[in-house]
């Protein structure tokens, strides 16, 4: 049986957290960088599954779930929900001094206490946002396109006029993929870009 895409099912949180870590270093395996294997997933996977499970899709092959795309139609509403319902518990579990300040885990803990907020200019035109990650075994076979297309269709159906995403400038492969999928650069930072497209 070839790989296919389907909706995320409750109970698949752990494998999605694992995929997040295994692709978390600008597309490469970040497990050597993090002492705590759940931290990246707690920021980039968990809140999406809780807030908008209907926009969580997975790629599955014979060995199981090996990729995902996660999105929210309204980033401002998502950020407000995280402030109320996601960050408070994590801030208790991970105090600011949980890890050395200059370690990758320390950087994620700072994000939990002081989350990134999308800029008003971007969310006005492109209110939705997304994350996509496939394990190497699922890459370069058209699954990224399939997951992205299905996500964009689902978000467009909510009436959202546009979508943005953040990507590390070190991840040139992903930047090429996003350009190919119709995204253009809308903001440039030292180590990252924001890219966006209409829905």
Ligand X SMILES: CC(C)(COP(=O)(O)OP(=O)(O)OC[C@H]1O[C@@H](n2cnc3c(N)ncnc32)[C@H](O)[C@@H]1OP(=O)(O)O)[C@@H](O)C(=O)NCCC(=O)NCCS
Q: Which is nearer to ligand X, 27 or 46 (CB)?
A: 27
Q: Residue with the closest Cβ to ligand X?
A: 144
How far is Cα 119 from Cα 80, in angstroms, rounded to an integer?
14
State how far the alpha carbon of 89 is from the alpha carbons of 42, 47, 93, 94, 103, in Å: 11, 12, 6, 9, 22
Residue 131 beta carbon to ligand X: minimum distance, rounded to whole angstroms? 7
Contact between 193 and 167 under an 8 Å Cβ cutoff? The reply is yes
**Size (the chain), residues:** 199
Of the candidates 118, 114, 115, 98, the residue with the CA atom closest to the CA atom of residue 195: 118
Residue 31 beta carbon to ligand X: minimum distance, rounded to whole angstroms? 14
Contact between 175 and 167 under an 8 Å Cβ cutoff? The reply is yes
* x/- letters, 24..43, toward ligand X (CB under 6 A): ---x----------------
Matching residue, tokens 């908008």:
52
Q: Which is nearer to ligand X, 85 or 140 (CB)?
A: 140
Site for ligand X in 134-193 (CB under 6 A): 134, 139-145, 167, 171, 173-174, 176-177, 180
* x/- letters, 84..123, toward ligand X (CB under 6 A): ----------------------------------------
Residue 173 beta carbon to ligand X: minimum distance, rounded to whole angstroms? 4
Burial profile 55-70: b = 16 or more Cβ within 10 angstroms, e = fewer: bbbbbbbeeebbbbbb
Q: Which is nearer to ligand X, 47 or 144 (CB)?
A: 144
Residue 12 beta carbon to ligand X: minimum distance, rounded to whole angstroms? 17
Q: Which residues bind ligand X (CB under 6 A)?
A: 23, 27, 132-134, 139-145, 167, 171, 173-174, 176-177, 180
């Amino acid at each position: 049986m070839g790989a296919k895409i389907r909706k995320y099912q409750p109970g698949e949180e752990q494998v999605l957290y694992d995929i997040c870590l295994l692709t978390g270093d600008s597309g490469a395996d970040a497990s050597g960088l993090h002492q705590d294997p759940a931290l990246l997933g707690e920021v980039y996977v968990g809140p999406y599954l809780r807030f908008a499970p209907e926009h969580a899709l997975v790629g599955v092959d014979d060995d199981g779930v090996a990729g995902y795309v996660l999105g929210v139609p309204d980033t401002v509403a998502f950020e407000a929900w995280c402030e109320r319902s996601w960050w408070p518990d994590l801030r208790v579990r991970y105090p600011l001094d949980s890890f050395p300040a200059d370690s990758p885990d320390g950087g994620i803990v700072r994000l939990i206490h002081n989350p990134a907020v999308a800029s008003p200019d971007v969310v006005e035109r492109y209110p939705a946002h997304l994350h996509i990650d496939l394990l190497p075994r699922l890459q370069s076979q058209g699954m990224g396109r399939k997951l992205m297309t299905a996500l964009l269709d689902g978000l467009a159906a909510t009436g959202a006029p546009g979508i943005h995403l953040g990507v590390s400038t070190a991840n040139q492969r992903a930047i090429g993929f996003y350009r190919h999928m119709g995204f253009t650069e809308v903001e440039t930072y030292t180590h990252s870009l924001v890219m966006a497209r209409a829905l």
